[in-house]
């Protein structure tokens, strides 16, 4: 559905490429995520794919057609949620949605959409009176008001409190259920872990690792279990392999009162640091 090969992009007036020969494919119905620190090039790749940037080299294809050959009907089938809110501040939320949706051949009921992100009471409020989080939620619903097949979401949960972040993630999961292809960027590993079928680590315009989150975790985890028992300060650590036949482990769990047991699988955060030598923050 989305195919990128050997993509290189340098911003005009700079000499260092922002995107340094990256390749990846996103299948239909897949949720694909770019995980990377600020300045990694996540937004740049997305902007190339929805034609806000031109002058790249390499291949960037959507539905078997190079993005530079796509015409305006392309925008009927893709939806874009920008990383920063961009609305007409003097118009109300509803007026904004109505303005944008009327350019499409079909669209959803804006009031219902506002309701899904808890903005129904604010439908007739001017966007200039919105908080950043409210504007971001408005951005989010506008991105798929025309029922696109492919969605680009640039940091959809940034600036949101945990409750609203949860709501947005549930909607994304619901869109995935509907078979949409979704390309998200984030620097929150929890989001990537939870939402993405495939995640790519992007640092300085390079993809450093790319796989299913479970696979990455398996690959980089220590595969041990850590047990703490009552009245003892030291932790006991056992290999997961053949744990059922590990006499030391069995004796411990039989004879002691156990306080905690943890398998030591790595979080995407840990893996990111291991692979790239950088932190996500």
Partner 1 sequence: MKKIVLLTVNDFKHVFRDRMLCVFLLAPLLLTCFVRFFVPYISEVYPIIIDYHIYIMMFGGIQTSIMFGFITAFIILEEKDENVLQAIRVLPITPEYFIVYRLLFATVFSSLSAFLMLVFSGLVWPGLWNSFLLAIQYGLAAPFITLIIATYAKNKVEGLAFFKGIDLLILMPILSFFLPGLWKYLFSPIPMFWTYELYSNAIKGSGTIFAFFCGTVVYLLIFAFLISQFKKRVFNL
Ligand X SMILES: Nc1ncnc2c1ncn2[C@@H]1O[C@H](COP(=O)(O)OP(=O)(O)OP(=O)(O)O)[C@@H](O)[C@H]1O
Report the interface residues with partner 1, using CB under 8 A: 50-54, 71-76, 78, 80, 82, 84, 86-91, 95, 99-100, 102-104, 142
Per CB under 5 A, the segment of 36-44, 65-73, 158-166, 190-198 that binds Mg ion is: 36-44
- Beta strand segments in the chain, E: 2-9, 19-26, 31-35, 57-62, 65-66, 78-81, 150-154, 181-186, 198-203, 206-211, 224-229, 236-239, 258-263
- CB nearer to ligand X: give 36 or 156: 36
> Beta strand 224-229 with 236-239: parallel, antiparallel or unpaired?
antiparallel
Measured over the CA atoms of residue 223, residue 228, residue 234 and residue 236, the dihedral's sign is negative
Closest CA to 20 of 1, 47, 40: 40
- Whole-number minimum distance, CB 153 to partner 1, in Å? 13
> Per-residue x/- marks for ligand X, 74-113, CB under 6 A?
---------x------------------------------
- Whole-number minimum distance, CB 5 to partner 1, in Å? 23
**Of positions 9, 43, 139, 200, contacts Mg ion by CB under 5 A:** 43
Per rule CB under 6 A, is residue 186 in the interface with ligand X?
no
Instruction: Tell me the residue length of the chain.
Output: 281
- Using CB under 5 A, count the residues that bind Mg ion: 3
**Of positions 187, 196, 216, 276, contacts ligand X by CB under 6 A:** 187
**Of positions 11, 88, 103, 239, contacts ligand X by CB under 6 A:** 11
234 makes contact, choosing from ligand X, partner 1, Mg ion, none, with CB < 5 to 8 Å by partner type, with none
> Per-residue x/- marks for ligand X, 15-44, CB under 6 A?
---x-----------------x-xxxxxxx
220 makes contact, choosing from ligand X, partner 1, Mg ion, none, with CB < 5 to 8 Å by partner type, with none
Q: Answer yes or no: are the C-beta atoms of 114 and 120 closer than 8 Å.
A: yes
Chain centroid to Cα 250, Å, comes to 41
CA distances from 264 to 154, 220, 225, 240 (A): 31, 10, 6, 10
- Whole-number minimum distance, CB 274 to ligand X, in Å? 20
Give phi and psi for 6, each to the nearest 5. Answer: 50, 40
Number of other residues whose CB lies within 10 A of the CB of residue 71: 7
CA distances from 276 to 49, 52, 106, 155 (A): 25, 29, 44, 20
- CB nearer to ligand X: give 46 or 164: 46
What residues contact 132, with CB distance under 8 A and at least 6 apart?
A: 85, 159
89 makes contact, choosing from Mg ion, ligand X, partner 1, none, with CB < 5 to 8 Å by partner type, with partner 1
- Which residues of this protein are in contact with ligand X, per CB under 6 A? 11, 14, 18, 36, 38-44, 83, 187
**Residue ranges binding Mg ion (CB under 5 A):** 42-43, 83
């Amino acid at each position: 559905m989305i195919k990128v090969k050997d993509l290189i992009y340098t911003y005009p007036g700079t000499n260092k490429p922002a995107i340094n020969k990256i390749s990846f494919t996103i299948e239909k119905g897949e949720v694909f995520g770019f995980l990377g620190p600020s300045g990694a090039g996540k937004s740049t790749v997305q902007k190339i794919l929805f034609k806000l940037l031109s002058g790249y080299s390499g291949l960037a294809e959507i539905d078997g057609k190079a993005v530079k050959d796509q015409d305006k009907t392309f925008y009927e089938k893709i939806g874009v949620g920008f990383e920063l809110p961009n609305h007409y501040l003097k118009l109300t939320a509803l007026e904004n949605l109505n303005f944008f949706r009327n350019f499409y051949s079909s669209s959803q009921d804006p009031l219902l959409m506002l309701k899904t992100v808890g903005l129904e009471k604010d439908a007739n409020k001017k966007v200039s009176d919105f908080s950043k989080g409210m504007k971001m939620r408005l951005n989010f619903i506008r991105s798929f008001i025309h029922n696109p097949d492919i969605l680009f979401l640039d940091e959809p949960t940034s600036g949101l409190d945990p409750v609203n972040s949860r709501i947005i993630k549930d909607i994304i999961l619901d869109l995935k259920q509907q078979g949409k292809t979704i390309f998200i960027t984030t620097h929150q590993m929890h989001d990537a872990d939870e939402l993405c079928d495939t995640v790519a680590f992007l640092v300085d315009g390079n993809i450093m690792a790319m796989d299913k989150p479970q696979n990455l975790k398996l690959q980089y985890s220590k595969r041990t279990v850590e047990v703490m028992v009552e009245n003892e300060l030291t932790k006991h650590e056992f290999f997961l392999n053949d744990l059922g036949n590990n006499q030391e482990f069995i004796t411990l769990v039989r004879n002691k009162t156990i306080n905690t047991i943890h398998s030591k699988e790595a979080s995407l955060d840990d893996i990111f640091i291991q692979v790239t030598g950088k932190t996500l923050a």
